[in-house]
Structure 1
């Protein structure tokens, strides 16, 4: 078994995977009908998992393909072309379970876990978020305490993808000290949900409006796991958590790649075939513009995948790579949502149906802008990182700093006209978001230029850079516009229009 998986040529592996997915979703089953229902038929899921797609995230010594990032992203892209929820299911397993376990797990547990993934189609997820502590993960209240039987883990977690479905979990918690207070560091533990004493109770399933294939809910933890189920950080648990989350964000482009590709293909096909006034939609100038937006998204995401393949392997420490991780995650998820919106707009009324790939794509891609850090928060963090670096260098001119700043140096000259101004270090949060959006797109423009250097087709790259320049110009205009309006209290007083007619 392991020899077949390890030695198979990847091009054959991924092509067979694409072909079989297409057959399962369009011939054996109807993906358009399935997408309106929660979950997947057991036979369909079994047919997908029998292709061992998750073998790409398992080390060779345990029978897998070797945790090669470009292979992991290719599997995510192939899945998201047909089904974004399926790709997210794989993404959860790969980036939030298999890769962390490969890097930080005790060697004594790896063979058993990886074997069950390959032979029994098991799945795993990650538990960090709590009802009162979403992005504020460092203040989580789930506790762990060492007892004679192992680590006793107690707490509440929610919004974990694959709730009630995963066989394994990696659970984040804080050490309970002798005085009952919780330590500042974060610990992670492997939980085998199939074993007595480690079973997690699902007290509620959430009615998420998109991603219907994936169950989310509320989980109550009161379990005991063996000591060797504790993950081993290279330094601190907080840095381990950052490494895990940054690696996951850097692999979002894999899920975005196939999805954006599908939106583009569907849009081009529809606009070619739809005849209005004696010619097809592609003859219209604004339709051309909308298609170029989709092609730009396709190009940017391709460049992100190339960059991620080079830097996000488990042999890299990503704890300090927040700027690139935030930029990739936020920009690609914005592009996913925009791509779905564009397809629906181009498709007219037919696009506004759950049976249409664009209609459900809007709902399925929307939460990507929220989970693993809302995009507004990530953009604000990007701006704050740059401002702190500028302050350290005692530089107040944005362009003069960016042209020497490694993440932006490659592309900054393309944006010189818009970025040539002096910037204050005291900026309202709303302005940090605008600035972060612009800076993230400059970073991504650098990825496009790097990919073009390697031989990616020049016209797509040039069009993408032009599109990014327009977007950055708009964002900088918003950043510089003086808007300090605040919420009006008791807004209902004196605001009933009927009284003034």
Structure 2
């Protein structure tokens, strides 16, 4: 079993790390404070092929393996978690379902513009009364002639106000329960598409998370993704990959917390010496580093399973997201503690990391849902 990155993966890591240090780090704090969507950064990322990381080369993407993709998400998230999740959703939850379930016409139409970053992708599944329980969604889609008419509301949609291509889920047959849910490729220019409120959040402030409102939205029937009734299956399989992306984001946040803590502890003087000389600080750093290294390997294992395992890799993805998100929270709590009072101020990066980390335990499946997925897999 290969436990080291190959040469291509090392090159990608170096490239993205340098890009993030140069282009993202200097503006990350401002983006957070002003809740400014990272449009210019995304344009630069698109030129590097990062928005089409997993899209096959024949459709204009980079065609990278999933471990390389997690490296990208980690390095971007280390400097800006908002940009990390935008990139993750764009790749894992929008491009991938089209790659997996789209017909050739859909792939040729949408994958190149997603790869080039001409349009940002969004995943519209969650509703006010259908979060962890996606099967309870109430948005409906009715075929009338050559169009589906979609009515309903979605909420907590990453890039909701900025996305040009969205994967939207709606009920086409109420009598079939979750097997009556279908998926559609929707453009934000389609008649009846409206953006609702943008949420004010604890963290990931540069990511505009919104409500979406569909009022007799007209979607051409050729934009049905897969077959009618396959929407729930498409959503769950996409979320498996999405959870690997969020796990990588969490690793990036945790690694940033560790690096900030190491640097601060070397500089901060108390009782006549750097606080890094005190065992209490050393043990916190040691625990952070150990957990981060362990979870990074777990993320790589899930990424490898996605590319090589036959069938679903739900357990591996859930384990990675669960452990990574909880590791991120543990790391940022320790980081703020190491920084003391300064860590509680907005002057220091760890304050932002603390706010950004929490969401990784919630979106794309809460920690409780991850434990359910893992347990169900073990008890089959």
TM over 0.5: yes
Cα displacement (A) at 1:111: 1.9
Question: Take 1:184 and 1:84, find their aligned partners in 2: how far apart are those partners?
Answer: 32
Secondary structure at the aligned position of 2:109 is classed as: helix
Is 1:151 the counterpart of 2:143? The answer is: no
Residue-pair matches, total: 372
Q: Output one character per residue of 1:337-356: Cα deviation in whole Å (capped at 9) or x when no partner.
A: 11111111101111112342
**Contact (CA 8 Å) 1:77, 1:257: kept in 2 or not?**
yes
Secondary structure at the aligned position of 1:65 is classed as: coil
Counterpart selection for 1:84 from 57, 70, 81: 81
1:144-293 to 2 correspondence within 5 Å? Answer: 144-176=141-173, 183-185=177-179, 186-194=181-189, 196-197=190-191, 200-221=193-214, 222-232=216-226, 236-293=230-287
Counterpart selection for 1:340 from 332, 340, 343: 332
Q: Output one character per residue of 1:12-56: Cα deviation in whole Å (capped at 9) or x when no partner.
A: 454333323222234xx4332332111236444433433331121
Question: Take 2:309 and 2:166, find their aligned partners in 1: how far apart are those partners?
Answer: 22
Structure with the greater alpha carbon radius of gyration: 1
Is 1:294 the counterpart of 2:288? The answer is: yes
Is 1:24 the counterpart of 2:23? The answer is: yes
Secondary structure at the aligned position of 2:345 is classed as: coil
**Corresponding residue number in structure 2 for 1:313:** 307
Query: Which is strand-richer, 1 or 2?
Result: 2
> Could you tell me the TM-score, scaled by structure 2's length?
0.89
User: 1:316–1:65: structure 2 CA closer, same or farther, 3 Å change rule?
Assistant: farther
**Corresponding residue number in structure 1 for 2:343:** 351
**Contact (CA 8 Å) 2:125, 2:154: kept in 1 or not?**
yes
Q: Output one character per residue of 1:105-138: Cα deviation in whole Å (capped at 9) or x when no partner.
A: 1210212212222345321011111111211211
Secondary structure at the aligned position of 1:131 is classed as: coil
**Contact (CA 8 Å) 1:233, 1:240: kept in 2 or not?**
no
User: 1:91–1:45: structure 2 CA closer, same or farther, 3 Å change rule?
Assistant: closer
The structure whose RCO (Cα within 8 Å, separation 6+) is larger is 2
Question: Take 1:43 and 1:137, find their aligned partners in 2: how far apart are those partners?
Answer: 33
**Corresponding residue number in structure 2 for 1:464:** none
Secondary structure at the aligned position of 2:53 is classed as: helix
Cα displacement (A) at 1:374: 1.8
Cα displacement (A) at 1:329: 1.4
Gaps in structure 2 of 5+ consecutive residues: 1-6
Question: Take 2:201 and 2:275, find their aligned partners in 1: how far apart are those partners?
Answer: 35
Is 1:62 the counterpart of 2:56? The answer is: no
Question: Take 1:11 and 1:204, find their aligned partners in 2: how far apart are those partners?
Answer: 41
Task: Judge which range, 349-358 or 38-47, deviates more.
Answer: 38-47
Cα displacement (A) at 1:208: 1.4
Question: Take 1:224 and 1:272, find their aligned partners in 2: how far apart are those partners?
Answer: 59
Task: Judge which range, 258-267 or 336-345, deviates more.
Answer: 258-267
Cα displacement (A) at 1:220: 0.8
Cα displacement (A) at 1:385: 5.0
**Contact (CA 8 Å) 1:32, 1:356: kept in 2 or not?**
no
Is 1:372 the counterpart of 2:371? The answer is: no
Q: Output one character per residue of 1:31-84: Cα deviation in whole Å (capped at 9) or x when no partner.
A: 323321112364444334333311212112112121410121111011011111
**Corresponding residue number in structure 2 for 1:134:** 131
> Could you tell me the TM-score, scaled by structure 1's length?
0.69
User: 1:218–1:251: structure 2 CA closer, same or farther, 3 Å change rule?
Assistant: closer
Q: Could you say what the CA RMSD is over the residues aligned between the two structures, in angstroms?
A: 2.5
Counterpart selection for 1:361 from 348, 353, 375: 353
1:371-390 to 2 correspondence within 5 Å? Answer: 371-383=363-375, 386=378, 388-389=379-380
Q: Output one character per residue of 1:279-314: Cα deviation in whole Å (capped at 9) or x when no partner.
A: 222222221221112112221222123202211139
Secondary structure at the aligned position of 1:110 is classed as: helix
